[in-house]
Structure 1
Amino acid sequence: MMINIRHAQAQDYPAWLTLWQGYLGFYQNDLDENVTSTTWRRALSADSNILCRLAETERGIIGFAMCVLHEGTWSTQPLCYLEDLYVQQDARGIGAGRALIEAICAEARQKSCSSVYWVTRENNPARKLYDKLATLDDFVRYNVKI
């Protein structure tokens, strides 16, 4: 099955929204509609550092990756934070997740990023894929809700 990775376009919103809601459900999270619509607008804006890439097959859009390009203090080059990655459940195992990550890494290289990184839950089954594509480091994430 051919998987095409491409930039999100305005007309992709309904398909992306369905996947986004599945992603939020996977993480047992519920976001205000304003956050979702703002995220989508930022992903489409040329002035934003948020990128959205879609995985598409002949079945339609089956997955997405959302990234944030940002400066860092340990590198003179930008960094790419792969914040969100999701492939619809019935399309897992065909290579869409790998294709999305590889496309993000290729784009990060083109943009002269020093690295692509992400965090996930310890029990995420996608870690089998992540272990093949990246190095697990020993950092622990802390979070203060403001």
Structure 2
Amino acid sequence: MSAAVRPLGPDDHAAWRGLFTDYLTFYRTTRPEEVYTTTWARLMDPEVRMHGALAVAGGRPVGLVQWLYHLSTWEVPARAYLNDLYVSEAARGTGAGRALIEHVYADADAHGAATVYWTTEEDNATARRLYDRIGTRTPFIKYGR
């Protein structure tokens, strides 16, 4: 199964909602309806520097990626933060994840971004096998509040 990647469009809400919900479930979390509504509105607003794309295989969406651009004190160009990446269980190992990351890489290059970065859980072994091939692991540890 080969996946094609395309930007999210207004008609993709139902597919996006299903994949985003599955992504949150994968990370053992839920979010209130306001988060879904606000995130979708941001993704559809050309003035907001938040973007999304779907991986489509066999005529149906099998994955999603969402990223945003932000300024940095370390570089003049903006950075691209790959905020969310999800591929349905049935489509894992088919190249959909790689295609989604490469889509973000291409968009970041087109926008002159200094770098693309993302985080994942330490025990996310399946995804990390891909990330180790397509990215460079950094020595930074994430903290939060």
Shorter-chain TM-score range: over 0.9
TM-score by structure 1 length? 0.96
Residue 140 of structure 1 is matched in structure 2 by 141
Q: RMSD of the alignment, in Å?
A: 0.8
Displacement after TM superposition at 1:100 (Å) = 0.4
Inter-partner Cα distance in structure 1 for 2:106 and 2:137? 20
Residue 116 of structure 1 is matched in structure 2 by 116
Residue 37 of structure 2 is matched in structure 1 by 37
Residue 132 of structure 2 is matched in structure 1 by 131
Residue 92 of structure 1 is matched in structure 2 by 92
Q: Deviations over 1:24-64 (max 9, x none)?
A: 10000010010111101101110111100111122411101
Unaligned runs of 5+ in 2: none
Contact 2:79/2:113, CA 8 A, preserved across alignment: yes
Unaligned runs of 5+ in 1: none
Inter-partner Cα distance in structure 2 for 1:37 and 1:58? 28
Query: For 1:35, what is the secondary structure of its paired residue?
Result: helix
Displacement after TM superposition at 1:68 (Å) = 1.0
1:1-146 correspondence runs (5 A): 1-124=1-124, 125-144=126-145
Query: For 2:132, what is the secondary structure of its paired residue?
Result: helix
Flag as ranges the 4+ runs of structure 1 deviating above 3 A. none
Identity rate, percent: 38
Inter-partner Cα distance in structure 1 for 2:127 and 2:42? 26
